[in-house]
Structure 1
Amino acid sequence: MLASVSAKGFVFLMRYETPDPLHPALLPGLIAAEDGLARLDERAARHAVAEGFRERGQFFDAAAALWVAGELVHVEDLVLHDSHMDARAPSHELTIAHGVLRARRRLELAEPGWALTLPGMNALRGEQGGVAADDGYPEPPNARPSADAVSERADDRDENPLADEFAELDAAIARSQRLLDFHAGSLPEPAPTLSAERAVAEPTGQLGLLFDEEWDEGARLDAWRGVLAAADQLPAGLGAAILFDAWERIEPLRRQHWLGSLLVGAYLRYRGKVASHVLAFNTGLKTIRHERRRSKDRLTRLSAFLEAMAMTADLGLKELDRLSLARTQMEMRIKDRRSNSNLPGLIDLVLSRPVVSTAMIARHLGVTQRGALNLVRELGVREITGRGRYRGWGVI
């Protein structure tokens, strides 16, 4: 695969050659990955706790994505931040993890293969060329919100008393960005009397404050998308591993490098290998040693990625068994309860979140926090956070 990229007057070639799919070093890992993914997809598509499994996987994969990047984000902090119930001011890493979570949810709702198209890629990276959505990504200029978006934002204002203030801040940021783009487009070219070094440092398109002018993301994305045709000719597991290795080598996006692991799940869903959900690839990738994931030998890297897929499938099957056992135990506790009890709703909530707090239970079930504590005590859910102010319960 050959693609040319130009940046700052320099032209260089990015080449990514697909390996031999019948290489003896890849076959054991490929067989294990294909078998594990097929088993996971079959069970996740028909399991009684499939909905909770998919929702919990969103949080675990988002936290694991930051782990792979070398940052630590606690899952309970991510759950509280997603529910607008932060115990403290959110950190930069927590904000990134929430962006991963929102991107995963967007992939779950989208059609298979949408993320691999150019409009889908632009939407995920926040460009205006993508399809607009109401999950925090930029909308096209002069776009009017739909009726569903207006009603959803009204619900958000009811749930979050600071929604109006945040909306004003977002509008101010959008106006500032349009002003910056306007002035950036009107900047003159560097004077010819400047030295060569100074001329390279001068911004040409944008202001150059947040972006590297020599990093052409559009051309790099085109180079990565050029590998898709070759990956489609290979087994789904190996094709996904090659796409992820190409993403790591080409590095199309610098600020959203975590998107590559999400595209692995999107590609497997597009190929029909894991059609029941977007695979939480980061949960298995975090178990692979860094030396293997970043090895200079491509076969070592591909073997590590295939092993990560097999590990993800194994962890997913264990999670399904754990949730199924927990559901059975909790249902045995409420078999003699009245028909209008809130305990069945609490079971669904506990199975859909890695951790729940009294405030989350009270808002979801429409009870007081004292009543939420009583429901938790009756259901016998285990307390897992060990905190004084923000106690949390969940299935381990």
Structure 2
Amino acid sequence: MPYEIGKINHEILLRPIAAAEDALARLDERVARSEVGSGFAARADFFESVSSMWVAGELVHLEDLVLHDAQMDIRAPSHELVIAHRIVRARRRVSRNNPGWAVSRSGIMALAGVAEEISVEAEPVDRGGEGVELELVGDAALSPELAEIDEVLARTQWLVDGDAAVEQRKREPEINVGELLIRDPDWDEGERIGEWLELAKQLERLPTTLAASVLWDGWEHLEPLQRQHWLGQVLVSDFLRARGKVRSHLLAYAVGLREIPRERRRARDRTTRLVAYLDAMSAAAGMGIKDIDRLTLAKRQLERKASGRRTTSSLPVAVDLLMSRPIVSAHMVAKAAKISPRGALNLVSDLGVRELTGRGRYRAWGVL
């Protein structure tokens, strides 16, 4: 069922739109000018991933996600942890590409890990007394030259395989019961992605925050992907970046959604849902500004402790690592600074960072 934009109640949405626009603009300016902007953006990937899993009803510990990203797991990674790390990698990939790359068919397919194949099917055609030839069907005619090459390859394959290959092509593909438990064969992801992209084109005249809210509501309604529903939040963040509202980084949209009660996010009335999504943007921006203030203060305090040291000191490396990760372990510091774990413990002790785990056997530190 396609998503219809319909009539939008601007009178109710006007105040949330203005608040979200102002909050996102302030956040973007702070991140662009802050000395901890890059560290904030790197930390936001982890917080966004954990919050996205929380919104979906799954619990992933921040500590496990950071250690899994550093390939220093202390336990076997769970299925939820693997998905959470995939969100982190997807956000990093989107950040490396141009704004708006993710909000395209090729970008969505690449992030979802689905390869768009150009089907080149060969069907036997009887040419009378001249034998059986293979006729190409599908989207193979990219150019006459490529079509001729594909035809020669298909005919050669048919000659090698013989009549058994032709009979095999005529058969209906067998349905695997195990595959039905994972994927719905009637779920046309390509068509649903096309409908969502068409919706994105229709929202060009709306304010950026309102368009992003409608886009997320359309993603919730259409559900283009069966197993990567979390990708919609990444796409909305890239949409805001493509429209120039948040240029310095990818917005941690799920962090704001986490602050909104489920009753509002899942309300039957669309206007109520749109207000909730706009409030989520304002909440994400407000929490981001507070995080920047906290990181700026923490970095200045740590730099005072690192000042006056020799130029070959590894303390600046440890400070940069603490700014870019929510938590760090001794092995992470040792790997970044290229020193021994014992030396990493000495660095952490000199910086006086807060210990977060409360355990004696395995310890981690961070600025939260």
| Same structural fold, with TM-score higher than 0.5 when normalized by the shorter chain | yes
1:105 corresponds to 2:92: yes
- Report the counterpart of residue 384 of structure 1 in structure 2: 356
* Deviation of the 1:203 alpha carbon: 3.2
- Report the counterpart of residue 78 of structure 1 in structure 2: 65
- 2:5 is matched by which residue type in structure 1? E
Structure 1 residues 232, 366: CA separation in 2 closer, same or farther (over 3 Å shift)?
Answer: same
- 1:363 is matched by which residue type in structure 2? K
1:234 corresponds to 2:206: yes
Whole-Å separation in 2 of the counterparts to 1:124 and 1:16: 26
TM-score, structure 2 normalization: 0.83
**Contact residue 17 and residue 210 of structure 2 kept, 8 A:** yes
- Report the counterpart of residue 90 of structure 1 in structure 2: 77
Structure 1 residues 381, 247: CA separation in 2 closer, same or farther (over 3 Å shift)?
Answer: same
- Report the counterpart of residue 162 of structure 2 in structure 1: none
- Report the counterpart of residue 162 of structure 1 in structure 2: none
Segments of structure 1 that go 5 or more residues without pairing to the other structure are 1-12, 131-181, 191-201
1:288 corresponds to 2:271: no
- Report the counterpart of residue 173 of structure 1 in structure 2: none
- Report the counterpart of residue 110 of structure 2 in structure 1: 123
Whole-Å separation in 1 of the counterparts to 2:219 and 2:276: 15
Whole-Å separation in 2 of the counterparts to 1:380 and 1:362: 17
**Contact residue 20 and residue 281 of structure 2 kept, 8 A:** yes
1:17 corresponds to 2:9: no
Q: How does 1:250-269 map to 2 (within 5 A)?
A: 250-269=222-241
Flag the structure with larger Rg.
Answer: 2
Whole-Å separation in 2 of the counterparts to 1:210 and 1:186: 25
Structure 1 residues 232, 87: CA separation in 2 closer, same or farther (over 3 Å shift)?
Answer: same
- 1:17 is matched by which residue type in structure 2? I
Give the secondary-structure state (helix, strand or coil) at the position aligned to 2:2. strand
- Report the counterpart of residue 129 of structure 2 in structure 1: none
Whole-Å separation in 2 of the counterparts to 1:76 and 1:83: 11
Whole-Å separation in 1 of the counterparts to 2:350 and 2:179: 59
Whole-Å separation in 1 of the counterparts to 2:218 and 2:22: 24
Structure 1 residues 207, 72: CA separation in 2 closer, same or farther (over 3 Å shift)?
Answer: closer
Q: Cα RMSD between the aligned structures?
A: 1.9
Structure 1 residues 186, 203: CA separation in 2 closer, same or farther (over 3 Å shift)?
Answer: farther
Which of 10, 20, 26 pairs up with 1:39?
26
* Deviation of the 1:23 alpha carbon: 1.7
Which stretch of the first structure deviates more once superposed, 217-226 or 315-324? 217-226
Q: How does 1:92-171 map to 2 (within 5 A)?
A: 92-129=79-116
Which of 177, 185, 188 pairs up with 2:171?
188
- Report the counterpart of residue 16 of structure 2 in structure 1: 29
Whole-Å separation in 2 of the counterparts to 1:303 and 1:17: 15
* Deviation of the 1:128 alpha carbon: 1.9
Give the secondary-structure state (helix, strand or coil) at the position aligned to 2:358. coil
TM-score, structure 1 normalization: 0.77
* Deviation of the 1:375 alpha carbon: 0.4
CA offset digits 1:342-371 (Å, max 9, x no partner): 111110000000000000000110111110
Structure 1 residues 187, 351: CA separation in 2 closer, same or farther (over 3 Å shift)?
Answer: farther
- 2:265 is matched by which residue type in structure 1? R
Whole-Å separation in 1 of the counterparts to 2:33 and 2:284: 18
- Report the counterpart of residue 355 of structure 1 in structure 2: 327
* Deviation of the 1:389 alpha carbon: 2.9
- Report the counterpart of residue 7 of structure 1 in structure 2: none
1:364 corresponds to 2:311: no
**Contact residue 18 and residue 242 of structure 1 kept, 8 A:** no
- 2:32 is matched by which residue type in structure 1? A
**Contact residue 355 and residue 393 of structure 1 kept, 8 A:** yes
Whole-Å separation in 2 of the counterparts to 1:285 and 1:60: 12
Which of 323, 345, 349 pairs up with 2:295?
323
Structure 1 residues 332, 238: CA separation in 2 closer, same or farther (over 3 Å shift)?
Answer: same
Which of 286, 296, 305 pairs up with 1:333?
305
CA offset digits 1:220-270 (Å, max 9, x no partner): 111111111222111110000000000001111110000111111100000
Which stretch of the first structure deviates more once superposed, 356-365 or 22-31? 22-31
Whole-Å separation in 1 of the counterparts to 2:334 and 2:45: 23
- 1:392 is matched by which residue type in structure 2? A
Whole-Å separation in 1 of the counterparts to 2:89 and 2:229: 15
**Contact residue 287 and residue 308 of structure 1 kept, 8 A:** yes
Whole-Å separation in 1 of the counterparts to 2:179 and 2:354: 52
Segments of structure 2 that go 5 or more residues without pairing to the other structure are 118-164
**Contact residue 33 and residue 307 of structure 1 kept, 8 A:** yes
**Contact residue 323 and residue 395 of structure 1 kept, 8 A:** yes
- 1:261 is matched by which residue type in structure 2? Q
Structure 1 residues 93, 223: CA separation in 2 closer, same or farther (over 3 Å shift)?
Answer: same
- 2:313 is matched by which residue type in structure 1? S
Which of 206, 230, 249 pairs up with 1:277?
249
Query: What percentage of residue pairs aligned between the two structures are identical?
Result: 52
- 1:65 is matched by which residue type in structure 2? S
Whole-Å separation in 2 of the counterparts to 1:224 and 1:284: 23
Structure 1 residues 340, 352: CA separation in 2 closer, same or farther (over 3 Å shift)?
Answer: same
1:305 corresponds to 2:277: yes
- 1:46 is matched by which residue type in structure 2? R
Structure 1 residues 187, 258: CA separation in 2 closer, same or farther (over 3 Å shift)?
Answer: farther
* Deviation of the 1:19 alpha carbon: 3.9
Whole-Å separation in 2 of the counterparts to 1:294 and 1:268: 22
Whole-Å separation in 1 of the counterparts to 2:87 and 2:180: 26
Give the secondary-structure state (helix, strand or coil) at the position aligned to 2:10. coil
* Deviation of the 1:118 alpha carbon: 1.4
CA offset digits 1:265-298 (Å, max 9, x no partner): 1000000000101111011110100111011100
**Contact residue 18 and residue 230 of structure 1 kept, 8 A:** no
